[in-house]
C-alpha cells in the first residue's frame, strides 16, 4: 500500500473506531468535508497543519501508525 493511501486509510479507520462521522470530524477539525473525503478515499496527503487538526479532533493520543 502506498504511504499516501495508508495515511488516509489510518485516518478513516481511526475515525470509524471512534464512531465519528466525516461530517462531525469536519466540524471538530474545522476542515471541509470534501478535504477529508479526498484524504481518506483518494489518497490526498494532508498538510501537517491539517493532520494536526484531524489528530486533535479525534483525540490522537491513541493513534498507532505501525
- The CATH number of whichever domain residue 35 belongs to comes to 1.10.260.40
- Give the pLDDT score at 5: 79
pTM metric for this prediction: 0.82
Task: With beta carbons less than 8 A apart as the criterion, state whether 29 and 54 touch.
Answer: yes
- Residue labelled with grid coordinates 473506531: 17
pLDDT score for 65: 53
Segment holding 15, helix H or strand E: helix 3-17
Q: Is residue 65 situated within a structural domain?
A: no
Which pLDDT band, with edges at 50, 70 and 90, does 61 fall under? low
Residue 41: inside a domain: yes
- Residue 46 backbone dihedrals phi, psi, to 5 degrees: -75, 150
Per-residue pLDDT band at 21 (split at 50, 70, 90): very high
Which residue range forms the structural domain that includes residue 26? 3-60
pLDDT at residue 13 in the model: 93
**Does residue 30 sit within a domain?**
yes
Number of domains within the chain: 1
Q: For residue 66, is it within any domain?
A: no
Cα 66 to Cα 55: distance, rounded to the nearest angstrom: 16
Amino acid at each position: 500500500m502506498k504511504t499516501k493511501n495508508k495515511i488516509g486509510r489510518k485516518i478513516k479507520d481511526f475515525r470509524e473506531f471512534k464512531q465519528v462521522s466525516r461530517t462531525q470530524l469536519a466540524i471538530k477539525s474545522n476542515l471541509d468535508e470534501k478535504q477529508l473525503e479526498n484524504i481518506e478515499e483518494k489518497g490526498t496527503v494532508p498538510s501537517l497543519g491539517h493532520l494536526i487538526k484531524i489528530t486533535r479532533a479525534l483525540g490522537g493520543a491513541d493513534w498507532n501508525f505501525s
